[in-house]
Structure 1
Amino acid sequence: MNPRSTRTVRRSLASFATILVAACAGVAQAATFTMYRDPNCGCCLEWADHIEQGEKHEVNSVDHLDMGAVKTQHGVPDDLRSCHTMIADGYVIEGHVPAADVERLLAERPDGVTGLAVAGMPMGSPGMEHGDHRQPYQVIAFGSEGRSVWANYPGNM
């Protein structure tokens, strides 16, 4: 088994054990972060590592062969789709959204926002840091109130 697969299995087992222990003890759980990803995509695991930095959150990675169905189920607009979809304490996080933006969303919990998205896979975004080239990109908040720019990242082009 390759190292990424081993890491995914380890995370899944650890998350399952945590849920099982909490359920048996009747203890309320901390926010859960579940990332759905195509098993053939490597940048998703790099992004999950970015989210886990500082050990504030643990990301449970779930391999899924029909990512379109996952995105449709969670209401991700077609033009905002990327390679992975995470559910973070009830919010949808689509694509390579920086951890600071996820933290801000969880702290502010704005009305009418279903989630945050970074469309596509912009070079230089978390999980896509290969070389010095960084594309400009935006983090978009989406939901029942429509869409708005949550954050801008200018890149170096």
Structure 2
Amino acid sequence: MAILKRTLAAAMLVAVQLPALAAAVPVKLYKNPNCGCCDVYADHLKENGFAVQMINTNDMATVKTKHGVPEHLEGCHTATIGKYVFEGLIPANQIKKVLAEKMPIKGLSVPGMPVGAPGMPGNKKAPIHVYYLTPDSAPKIFASF
């Protein structure tokens, strides 16, 4: 019985410490202060294990230029995680894939504000493409959802 009590006590101690080990991934999300979909998108990220720091700016053009986002791949906001840039309404699972695999890419983009993407209400009418974030004029698809 004493062994069982010690085993349970040890298991409880480990279980209490596990949430501390699974710290949220920090994200800087640059957005226009008047954009409501960006707030909903930030909630999507938070629900999926990210710690989102919202940075309101009325100069998104400068943010996009600083992070090398070409005009044809611009979304409504720009997020950074470590060395990566995530442009627009990218599903959290696609971001997690890049981070988990430590992919040798600059980042990802969902251009525009497609209906049905995380943060945009409504039903999507067609698959939404997630593109590699490259300066090329011909975007390459990373994934579709």
Pick the TM interval, shorter chain: 0.7 to 0.9
Matched ranges for 1:27-38 at <5 A: 31-38=25-32
The alignment of Structure 1 onto Structure 2 pairs a total of residues equal to: 122
1:40 matched residue in structure 2? 34
Matched ranges for 1:131-150 at <5 A: 132-143=123-134, 148-150=140-142
Matched ranges for 1:1-157 at <5 A: 31-54=25-48, 56-111=49-104, 113-130=105-122, 132-143=123-134, 148-153=140-145
Highest Rg: 1 or 2? 2
Which secondary structure does the structure 2 equivalent of 1:127 belong to? coil
TM-score for the superposition, normalised by structure 1:
0.71
Contact kept, 8 Å, 2:68 with 2:135, in 1: the verdict is: no
* In structure 2, C-alpha distance between the alignment counterparts of 1:45 and 1:137, rounded to whole Å: 20
Structure 2 residues not aligned, in runs of 5+ = 1-22
* In structure 1, C-alpha distance between the alignment counterparts of 2:129 and 2:70, rounded to whole Å: 15
Structure 1 residues not aligned, in runs of 5+ = 1-28
Report Cα offsets for 1:56-84 as digits up to 9, x if no partner: 21100000110010000000111000110
Report the CA distance between 1:143 and its aligned residue. 3.7
TM superposition outliers: structure 1 runs of 4+ over 3 Å? 132-135, 143-147
* In structure 2, C-alpha distance between the alignment counterparts of 1:64 and 1:99, rounded to whole Å: 23
What RMSD in Å do the two structures reach over aligned CA positions? Answer: 2.1
* In structure 1, C-alpha distance between the alignment counterparts of 2:50 and 2:110, rounded to whole Å: 20
* In structure 2, C-alpha distance between the alignment counterparts of 1:100 and 1:137, rounded to whole Å: 14
User: Percent of counterpart pairs with the same letter?
Assistant: 39
